[in-house]
Amino acid sequence: MELNLKNNKPIIFSGVQPSGVLHLGNYLGALTQWVEMQNQSNCIFCVVDYHAITVKQEPKELSRRILDVVKAYLASGINPEKVVIFQQSDITAHTELAWILNCIARVADLNKMTQFKEKACLPDRQGGSKESVSVGLFDYPVLMAADILLYNTDSVPVGDDQVQHVELTRTLAQRFNREYGQVFKIPEVAVRKQGARIMGLDDPTKKMSKSASSPANYIALTDAPEIAAKKIMRAVTDSSSKIKYDLKKKPAISNLMTIYSLLSGVSVKKLEKDYQGKGYGDFKKDLAETVKSFLAEH
Ligand code: ATP
Ligand code: LTN
């Protein structure tokens, strides 16, 4: 598919790293937005392989995962006749612009990035201290800014964890424009009201992540429906057994309610009503069935 940028539809850019299997968080936070946007916008969806190599990758495995991400895009309803799908490393302008933006970005800007702080301190990553992680991981947001700014992007549909990176993109674009004249369009971030941060099934205080150490953390889009149902039944729950949405006091059930609501189209309020007087077991059983049907259909 070639983009016809002569129309005045907005330009949408987003990407996923081929760093593991895609999960429900990726789907509900990002991909569902992409599917909705593809009809009324010029959409460009990238597989950001250069971002994935900021941590160690097995080359053969990486090549396979790049194709797996594209398959997940298609299975989620992205139509390759309506959007452009490509691999980041095929377009050399991404790393070229990243270098130019590196000369505008400040170490202080990157030091504020919470994702870097979290990833750099993970004990199973490259030694676990900030000093021993790659420069690439530190510089990751600048490459992301280059991805976005290269295409005169209007809007970037992502999950909540990427908002800070899009804000940095705006800062870099504004700084560049101020210093060198009007070059870059300033992009907006598009984040879902519900589903922007799906939490891990094994720990509702951390986001669902494809690089989580345990597969019990996530429902992969490639999970067999029966396996996914088991993961839901084993998901961590909160202390009191009432089915009530309360992110602070009941983060685990609130997360499961968000997933249930988004997959079924039933509002969280209605779920609270429907499950009055019932326990976690009943709720999880129904959610497990919903997840099973979703996976069987996609
Ligand atoms: P990793 O854990 O390896 O960094 P990831 O699971 O966070 O990977 P990404 O490739 O970084 O996945 O993200 C792809 C898209 O999915 C991004 O827009 C990101 O914001 C979104 N996303 C990732 N995790 C979640 C989540 N738990 N809830 C909602 N959206 C998410
Ligand atoms: N950093 C993002 C992936 C990503 C991206 C982008 C998203 C790289 N470049 C450009 C949107 C736009 C992530 O980890 N999810």
- Residues 90-120 pLDDT 10s: 999 999 999 999 999 999 999 999 988 887 8
| CA 185 to ligand 2 centroid distance, Å | 18
| CA 141 to ligand 2 centroid distance, Å | 8
Task: Confirm or reject: Cβ of 33 under 6 Å from ligand 1.
Answer: no
Ligand 2 binding site (Cβ under 6 Å of any ligand atom): 13-15, 17, 48, 51, 144, 147-148, 156, 158, 162, 165
Is the Cβ–Cβ distance between 145 and 110 less than 8 Å?
Answer: no
- Residues 203-216 pLDDT 10s: 999 999 987 889 99
**Residue with the nearest Cα to atom 3 of ligand 1?**
211
Q: Distance of CA 31 to CAs 13, 14, 35, 90, Å?
A: 12, 9, 6, 22
Query: Quick check: 16 pLDDT over 70?
Result: yes
Q: What is the pLDDT of residue 68?
A: 96
> Which stretches of 179-276 are assigned E, i.e. beta strand?
188-190
Look at residues 237, 252, 244 and name the one whose alpha carbon lies nearest to residue 275.
Answer: 244
| CA 233 to ligand 1 centroid distance, Å | 23
Task: Confirm or reject: Cβ of 17 under 6 Å from ligand 1.
Answer: yes
Q: What is the pLDDT of residue 192?
A: 96
In percent, the amount of the chain with pLDDT more than 90 equals 87
Output 123 or 4, whichever has higher pLDDT.
4
Number of H helices, E strands in the chain: 13, 5
User: Does the global pTM surpass 0.75?
Assistant: yes
Instruction: Select which of 60, 210, 269, 278 is catalytic.
Output: 210
Is the Cβ–Cβ distance between 153 and 94 less than 8 Å?
Answer: no
Is the Cβ–Cβ distance between 267 and 261 less than 8 Å?
Answer: yes
| Rounded mean pLDDT, 225-230 | 97
Amino acid (1-letter code) at residue 126 = Q
The Cα 252–Cα 249 span in angstroms is 9
Active site residue 9: no
| Rounded mean pLDDT, 53-74 | 96
**DSSP code, position 199:** B
**Residue with the nearest Cα to atom 12 of ligand 2?**
14
The Cα 41–Cα 272 span in angstroms is 36
Look at residues 234, 225, 233 and name the one whose alpha carbon lies nearest to residue 282.
Answer: 233
Query: Quick check: 126 pLDDT over 60?
Result: no
Cβ burial, residue 33 (10 Å; 0-12/13-18/19+): buried
| CA 27 to ligand 1 centroid distance, Å | 9
**CA angle, corner 24, sides to 20 and 29, nearest 5?**
100
Query: Quick check: 129 pLDDT over 70?
Result: no
Cβ burial, residue 153 (10 Å; 0-12/13-18/19+): buried
**Residue with the nearest Cα to atom 18 of ligand 1?**
158
Q: Give the distance between the most distant pair of CA atoms in the chain.
A: 63
Q: Distance of CA 193 to CAs 113, 158, 160, 262, 286, Å?
A: 22, 12, 10, 11, 24
